[in-house]
Amino acid sequence: MTKVSVLYPNGENKTFNMDYYCNTHLKMVSKLLGNHLKGATVEKGLGGATPGSIAPFAGMGNMYFDSIEDFGKAFGPNAEKIMGDLPNFTNIEPIIQISEVM
């Protein structure tokens, strides 16, 4: 299984609208990726390792696919629309990691 993680680094002057992300963006992404998308999770950063410190990431989205090829087939034709929606919920440049789930 392949996991695609989209991480949004936290920091000063960075904004992230979790409500829009969960209720609008992810619904759109799920619809666009269709049956290739096997599951998804969302994480909201609460804090760092030191008590009271800021979370390193404002939010994280994780999407699961049977293979990296399935991710490419699903994301490629929809990349422009998906990435074009980012300014509607954040001013953060996301970090994307593709991983093999062991």
Of 8, 6, 1, 11, residue with least CA distance to 64: 1
Radius of gyration of the chain (CA): 14
Greatest C-alpha distance within the chain: 43
Q: Given its phi and psi angles, is residue 93 left (phi above 0), alpha (psi -120 to 50 degrees) or beta?
A: beta
Arithmetic mean of pLDDT, 38-47: 97
Q: What's the pLDDT band for 21 if we cut at 50, 70, 90?
A: very high
Q: Which domains does the chain have, with CATH numbers?
A: 2-100 (3.30.70.100)
Query: What was the pLDDT predicted at 82?
Result: 97
Whole-angstrom Cα distance, residue 37 to residue 65? 5
Query: What was the pLDDT predicted at 26?
Result: 96
